[in-house]
Structure 1
């Protein structure tokens, strides 16, 4: 019985000795080793062996990046405005021995260091700068705190302002200012739109006026050309009639008289104020005039036929002269043209 108890005690002591000698360090951690209370070395991740009854584990340090929350605090800015500000800081232990033996309670020390420097940096700036220059605040804090924690074997990677809360009255004033600025921009945008619309309408009216003027110009040119051609036709007609009158043909005069008579009678019939049209009782003059026009047209056709016969007769004479053939027979004399009696 006594031997079994002694064996059990020996087994327990062996197990305890094994646990005190064999140390397994997890990834992302480092352990410091102390010999009789004095730091000797640092254990890296993996399995390590200690000298029994001489060496022991001192501090277990977290070597991964850590996030520390800086508590919210009230800070008075340079222009005497009270703001509430808090932040977060990202740190990483680079030297386990320095972080373990050069500062007591590393996280608390870094938190207090961030709080004091945050108050110093924000207090040296005006409210508008604090609200709109967070990047500048973060850069200044990072530079100062990283330099202060370097002897502790800690690297400060980032510092971010998490929240900035100005007083309620300042918040309301900022809201009114933002609303006024938005309204001002809206008014300016609306005015610019009206300006652009007015310019577009004026440009459209200008183009329309130009096109309308060009249309009137083209129409006037066409009208002038039509009037010119009409005047040329009238001039040719007048010249032909004048030649006929000079030759003693009175039917040309009858033609002009009948034309004006018919035009006047047509205008009288088309008048919107004329309800009754009175036809002259003596239509003999009009009939005679029309008959005279018919004779004039027939006489013109006869003259045209005579000219055609003369041209046909001249062509064989030219051929006979070229081939020394006997002269062609003489054409019969044209019958005398009598004058058509005029109307009374």
Structure 2
């Protein structure tokens, strides 16, 4: 029993459903090989359909290519709405995975066939639409768009979509792919018109997100969801590109000059800081040196003063004791210093003021001794005053004590004069 016989039996029966259920076992039991071959034909057809492109040109009739108005349409491109060939009704069909078949019975929507085995009613059921539930990539052709700063750009992109409702995708729009492609183009032009060129180049990710959101708001009634939109290429006019290149070059030159100036500034700061530290260290060294020298000079002056004081004390002690040898030595020392002073005056300057009797050495010595005598008289008076005070305290022999106090001075004068006289004779 062949498939044609089974179909006739199903149509002639009182109940269409029962005829089908009785005809199918007969076919399966009678001619298994024929059924296998018949069932393999739809599978091969479905595989060939999947290999075809989503848009295929409709074959033209041979002969006259004129349209309804008599216009020759041989050069007219195929319509975007042309569909691939639909699967035929062979009663038993195998629906591929991730595919939805829309079945119409007598021109009205009947059901959606899910992947797997499907049985159709001959002559009544028709596969009207075939929708793929996989993610599809739709190429958006290049188009012109004007930015907010009046720059014309050429942009193209790729749109990724997926059908989530086969019924809406079939009956909600004539061609969902074409509609969503046009919507993507208009939305992209609208979004770019709100941004400047710099923002378009910098905020491409935000622009893609805005376009995706706008497409989903409009495409949800078509049973299609936009997963993402990617702008592929952005082409600006040559003048704008040249200006951008000059701007980038100027910006990089500016950065290089800034970095160079920063380096020079830091170098000058480092040099100045080094000089500052050097001056500080040198001043610290000079200060320490001066402090050390001052400390040494102070100690030397103190030691000299102590030595001078000790010498003066020793001389005063000897003089107070009235030793004649000491007094003669003092007189000789005073005379030598007096003569040395005149010698220094002659060496240091060309004009020298000297006494009138400079050639008379004896008179010079006498003058020196006179000075010493005055000093001796003062010392003698001091000593006499002390002795008088002492005698006044005792209350006895005040006048004789004063005369006795003058006697050592006169004796010292005589001894000094004698010594100077001996020196003059020599």
- TM-score, normalisation: structure 2: 0.51
Give the count of matched residue pairs: 249
> Partners in 2 of 1:25 and 1:33 — Cα distance?
12
The residue aligned with 2:108 is 38
189, 195, 215: which one pairs with 2:259? 189
Contact 1:50 1:56 in 2 (8 A): no
The residue aligned with 2:119 is 50
155, 170, 174: which one pairs with 1:100? 170
> Partners in 1 of 2:97 and 2:294 — Cα distance?
104
Residue correspondence of structure 1 range 19-38 to structure 2 within 5 A: 20-38=90-108
Contact 2:92 2:120 in 1 (8 A): no
> Partners in 1 of 2:287 and 2:39 — Cα distance?
118
Contact 2:95 2:118 in 1 (8 A): no
SS at match of 1:216: helix
Aligned in 2, Cα 1:154/1:216: closer, same or farther, shift over 3 Å?
Answer: same
Aligned in 2, Cα 1:81/1:25: closer, same or farther, shift over 3 Å?
Answer: same
211, 220, 224: which one pairs with 1:141? 211
- Which structure's CA Rg is the greater one? 2
Deviation at 1:204, TM superposition (A): 2.5
In structure 1, the gaps of 5 or more residues are 1-5, 257-343
Q: Does 1:63 align with 2:116?
A: no
Deviation at 1:124, TM superposition (A): 4.6
SS at match of 2:180: helix
Deviation at 1:125, TM superposition (A): 4.1
156, 170, 173: which one pairs with 2:240? 170
Q: Which runs of 4+ in 1 moved over 6 A?
A: none
Q: Does 1:116 align with 2:186?
A: yes
Query: Greater CA deviation, 137-146 or 19-28?
Result: 19-28
Deviation at 1:38, TM superposition (A): 2.9
SS at match of 2:117: strand
> Partners in 2 of 1:222 and 1:22 — Cα distance?
120
212, 215, 220: which one pairs with 2:290? 220
SS at match of 1:142: helix
Deviations 1:193-240 (A, max 9, x none): 222222232222222222222222222111111112212222222233
Query: Greater CA deviation, 12-21 or 183-192?
Result: 12-21
- TM-score, normalisation: structure 1: 0.62
SS at match of 2:273: helix
The residue aligned with 1:336 is none
Contact 1:68 1:89 in 2 (8 A): yes
Deviations 1:127-184 (A, max 9, x none): 3443333344323322322122111100112112211111111111111111111111
Aligned in 2, Cα 1:194/1:17: closer, same or farther, shift over 3 Å?
Answer: closer
Aligned in 2, Cα 1:13/1:105: closer, same or farther, shift over 3 Å?
Answer: farther
Aligned in 2, Cα 1:239/1:117: closer, same or farther, shift over 3 Å?
Answer: same
> Partners in 1 of 2:288 and 2:149 — Cα distance?
76
Contact 1:17 1:52 in 2 (8 A): no
> Partners in 2 of 1:55 and 1:147 — Cα distance?
34
Q: Does 1:230 align with 2:300?
A: yes
